[in-house]
Structures are given as structure tokens and as C-alpha cells.
Amino acid sequence: MQKVAADLTKVLSPERVLWEREHLLTYGFDGTAALYGEAGCVTLPKTVAEVAQIVRYAAANRTPVITRGSGTGLSGGSVPVAGGIVLCLAQMDQVLELDPKNLTIRVESGVVTQKIAELADGVGLLYPPDPGSMRISTIGGNVAENSGGLRGLKYGVTRDYVMGLEVVLANAEVVWFGNKCVKDVAGYSMKDVFIGSEGTLGVITKVLLKLVPKPAAKETLLASFSQMDAAAESVSAIIAAKIIPCTLEFLDNITIRCVEEYAHVGLPLDAEAILLMETDGHPAVVREEAKQMAEIARQHGARAVQVAQTAEEAARLATARRVAFSALARVSPTTILEDATVPRSELADMVRFIQQTAVKYAVKVGTFGHMGDGNLHPTFLTDEKNAAEMARVEKAMTEIFDHAVGLGGTITGEHGVGLAKKAFLPKAIGDASLETMRRLKRTLDPDNLLNPGKIFD
């Protein structure tokens, strides 16, 4: 047992300080491929006071603190620094208040996102952000990574639903930012500083979230295209027709093939793209919009458009997109899920570039993603034991990021920088922007204790 663990058993009850190697190894990673670190100990606080005590100890002893929830991140944001203290908030999972009058819910950071969605649903409300990991990801992690999901185009991302935060700062002070007011301009919007800060500026311990009324109806359509451009043009035309669908997801040909092999949903194997479209809202409007969307897709070269007639059929159509990642993840031992994002208008260009780059470097890449908001998921199907292939993957990825940035896009739409994208960040945002971030970090965490080495060095 390292000294740090022995010391912390005086702060927390001993069973909530883990130090056996068989424990530490299991907290050494998150959902990102090929990243690993071994902490000095793992702590499982249950109250904000305990979090503050741990941070105070860390500050006094200059020991790094790595905050995590369920460890589902996709950029290595919660991979431990060697010898550091992992602050796992999974056991701080109390729902504090559901307030239908103000359309808010206040929870501790360790509450699983799905639970928030279910509680909202129970009172006829909706918590829209739906990251792929929501069944186990914690809301604290979602806020720290500013997670997205399938409904970004219409409903936005996690940031758009955070009204307030409780944060433990690097000096162990506990601060509350924000409130239930829709309008509030009293000083800087400090909560926004912490949203998406990846655990580097403070430890988020409580979250106040906004909820919206649940849409009464939803229509689901599936269209297939012989050309990616046709799919992209359909999307542009739909939005130009003043329709904002809640879902506009696409799968490329490799993904279609993998999905078909895995789930046998009857997708056309020679299609270059399929598009899953959903619109939600008032029943009459939704019906009308679905009809229009089908028409637009046909006009722009869709070879087939299916409109779900029943809820079961809608679920069946959505299967293809729902299982896309599973289908790809089975193909090879290592699956690297990326999230290069471009302005919607550049989508067809970006997808074509990804496909060309994959051929150029002889690597297998399936691409699917959120066509409505330009957020792509080029998914590398590889094997981390194959050093030569991993080197080619690295090169292909670099070119893809460069191209995305060149098109006015970003290296990461919803996964964060963490360790995985750190090397790409300077080129993507430029020196001045990076230096401003560094200055902010130095101000809030002068001793570089909170998740050091993430986002930038």
C-alpha cells in the first residue's frame, strides 16, 4: 500500500479507499483504446465534504487528482496519472430534487444519465442529451466532457441543459454557480467554464439541469442512396425547407455491410449511404414533416424511402443505426471511435476524404454519425498488437483531423481532447487560443493538481 492510500484511509472509511493492485488495474482505463495508467489509490467519496477533504489532502501533498464517473470516456480523460488519486464519484448518486414547476432536476454527479432521462419521462418531460453510453455514463462525466448524442441538431448538447453546478476547486473550496433562472447575467457565466473542462479546473459534485416538455409524436424514416453526395444534399435540402429533424443519422457502405452481417436487417449492400431520419413534436406537424422529408429525399436521388407505419416498424428501422457501433466493434480486436466534426455543408467532402485516406493507408474505417450536425464517427477497425498497422492508423487519423480543421471543423465534436487528441489540439485551435486556456488553468489550478496532462501539458 502506498503512503497516499494509507493517509486517505484516515479521511474516508477504509473500504472506500482501494489500493490492492487488483483494484487499481481495473481503474486504469476508460472507454478509449490503448491508454492505461496506474493510480496510487482509488477513492469513493459519498459527500461533497469528503471530496473537499481528499482535494485538500492532494493539495497539501502535491498529489494529482483524477476525477471519474463510470469510465466510459472516449478520449482517455479519466485515465489515471501514475501514483495519483482517482476520485471516483460513482457512489455519489443521489437525486436531490425534481422540480416540474421550473422544469429542472438537481442531482449529484454520480447519477447515471439514463436515470435522469427516466425520471424526466415519468413526469412527461425530456432530458434530451443522449450520448451512446447514457445507460451507464454519469451526469458528472457528461458535463465534464460536454457530451453530445443523437439529438444534437434539434436539441443541442449537454451544455445547453446545465443551469447550475457545484464545484470543488483545486484549493478545496466548494462553490455553487448558476440557478433555476432562465435569465441570469449576474457576472461571468462561470458554470460554462467548467462544462467540458475534462476535470482539469475543478471537481463537479452537483448538477442542476434543464428539462423540456416531451414531444407528443415522432415519425421515423429510412432512406438509401447510391451516392454519399445525394444523401448530404438531401440533408441540406431538408434543413433549407425549414425542417429541423431530431435525428439525421447516416451509415456509410462499410458500416452498412458490417451491420447487415451482424443484424440482418435487410439493408441494401450496394448503397453508399443510408439515412435514418426522425422528426418529433406535435402529431399533425410531425406527419406533415415526415411526408415532406420523404419527398425531398426522393427528389435528391434516394433509391428507396421507407416511412415507418407503426412504432414497431420505427424501432426496426432505427435498429441499423442503433447497432452500428456494435457491428463495427466485432470486426477486429481494437476499435478506435473518432469524432471529427465539420460544418454540415462540408459533410460529403469529409466522408469522401475519410474513405480515400483509408484506402491510401490500407486501414479499415467504417463511418457513421450525426449528419444533421456534421459530427462524424470514423471508426478504425484495427489491432493494437499490430504495430505497423497502428502506425498507419495514426497517420490516417492525423490527415483526417487536418482535413476536418481545413474545412472549418474540429478534431473532436463530442468526445473531448483528454490524452487521445492532445497532440492535435495546438494545430486545431491555434497558439493564442491554447495560451488563453493555459492561463485559465493556471489561475484556477496553480499547482496543476487536477487531471494534469489532459487537454494540454
Partner 1 sequence: MATQDELHAAAVKIGRANPQGRMGASKYLKHLDFSVLQQCIHCGMCLPTCPTYDETKLERNSPRGRIALMRHIAEGRLEVTQAFGRELYFCLGCLTCETVCPAGVRYGEMFEHGRADIEQAGVLRKPTRDLVRMLMLRWMFTRPRALRAAGRLVWIYQASGLEWVVRRLKLTTLLPARLRGLESLTPQVQRRFSDALIRPVETPPGNRKYCVGLLTGCVQDLAFSHVNRHTVDALLANGCEVVTPRLQFCCGSIHAHNGELELARRMARRNLDAFDLDRLDAVITNAAGCGSHLKNYAHLLRDDPAYAERAVRWSAKLQDVHEWLAEIGIQAPAGSIPQKVTYHEACHLCHGQKITRQPRQVLAAIPGLELVELPESTWCCGSAGIYNITQPEMSQKLLRRKMENIAKTGAHIVASANPGCSVQLQAGARGSNPRLLIAHPISLLAEAYQNSFKA
Among positions 226, 335, 345, 386, the unique one binding partner 1 when judged by CB under 8 A: 335
Nearer to partner 1, 136 or 190 (CB): 136
66 binds partner 1, rule: CB under 8 A: no
Query: Site for partner 1 (CB under 8 A): which residue of 66, 111, 112, 444?
Result: 112
Amino acid in the structure at residue 170: A
Q: Which stretch binds partner 1 (CB under 8 A): 220-228, 241-249, 333-341, 444-452?
A: 333-341
Q: Which residues of 294-316 are buried (b: 16+ CB within 10 A; e: fewer)?
A: bebbeebebbebebbeeeeebeb
210: left (phi over 0), alpha (psi -120 to 50) or beta: beta
Q: 67-106 mask for partner 1 (x: CB under 8 A)?
A: ---xxx---------------x-xx---------------
Helices 347-360 & 387-406 angle (0-180, nearest 10): 160
The grid coordinates listed for 422 are 492532445
Nearer to partner 1, 80 or 374 (CB): 80
Asked if residue 386 binds partner 1 (CB under 8 A), the reply is no
> Closest distance between partner 1 and the C-beta of residue 239, in Å?
31
255 sits near partner 1 (criterion: CB under 8 A): no
For partner 1, the closer CB: 41 or 347: 41
* Whole-number Å distance between alpha carbons of 75 and 55: 24
Q: By CB under 8 A, tell whether 62 contacts partner 1.
A: no
> In the complex with partner 1, which residue's Cβ is closer, 292 or 334?
334
| Under rule CB under 8 A, residue 18 binds partner 1 | yes
Q: Which helix (H) or strand (E) holds 139?
A: helix 139-145
Instruction: Evaluate the CA torsion angle 279, 284, 290, 295 in order and state its sign.
Output: negative
Here the cell at position 432 is: 493564442
Number of residues that bind partner 1 (CB under 8 A): 39
Q: Which is nearer to partner 1, 136 or 244 (CB)?
A: 136
Q: Are the C-beta atoms of 19 and 27 separated by less than 8 Å? A: no
Q: Assign 3-class secondary structure to 301-347.
A: CEEEEEECCCHHHHHHHHHHHHCHHHHHHCCCCEEEECCCECCHHHH
418 binds partner 1 (CB under 8 A): no
- Cα atoms in the Cβ-side hemisphere of radius 13 Å centred on 131: 27
Looking only at residues 121 through 180 of this chain, which bind partner 1 when binding is defined by CB under 8 A?
133, 135-137
Q: How many residues does the chain have?
A: 457
Q: Which residues, 6 or more positions from 230, have their beta carbon under 8 angstroms from its beta carbon?
A: 273, 300, 301, 302
Site string for partner 1, 35-54 (x = CB under 8 A): ---------x----------
Report d(CA 58, CA 167) in Å as an integer: 16
Find the shortest distance in angstroms from Cβ 331 to partner 1: 9
Does position 30 interact with partner 1 (CB under 8 A)? The reply is yes
> Considering the rule CB under 8 A, would residue 109 count as an interface residue with partner 1?
no
Question: Under the criterion CB under 8 A, does residue 326 sit at the interface with partner 1?
Answer: yes
How many angstroms separate the CA atoms of 394 and 385, rounded?
Answer: 14
Q: Which is nearer to partner 1, 74 or 201 (CB)?
A: 74
Joined together, the cell numbers standing for residue 16 give 472506500
By CB under 8 A, residue 319 contacts partner 1: no
| Pick 7 or 402: Cβ nearer partner 1 | 7
3-class state of residue 84 by DSSP:
coil
Residue 70 vs 279, nearer CB to partner 1: 70
The residue within the footprint of partner 1, chosen from 22, 312, 431, 457 (CB under 8 A), is 22
Q: How far is residue 99 from each of residues 112, 117, 156, 159, 195, measured CA to CA in Å? A: 18, 14, 22, 19, 22
DSSP 454: S
Minimum CB distance to partner 1, residue 296 (Å): 33
Does position 385 bind partner 1 by CB under 8 A? yes
Check binding of 371 to partner 1 (CB under 8 A): no
- Give the E-state strand segments of 27-94 in sequence order: 41-43, 65-68, 85-88
Among 4, 8, 17, 29, binds partner 1 (CB under 8 A): 29
State the minimum distance, in angstroms, from the CB of residue 333 to partner 1: 4
Site of interaction with partner 1 (CB under 8 A): 1, 5-6, 18, 20-23, 25-31, 33, 44, 70-72, 88, 90-91, 112, 114, 133, 135-137, 325-326, 329-330, 333-335, 383-385
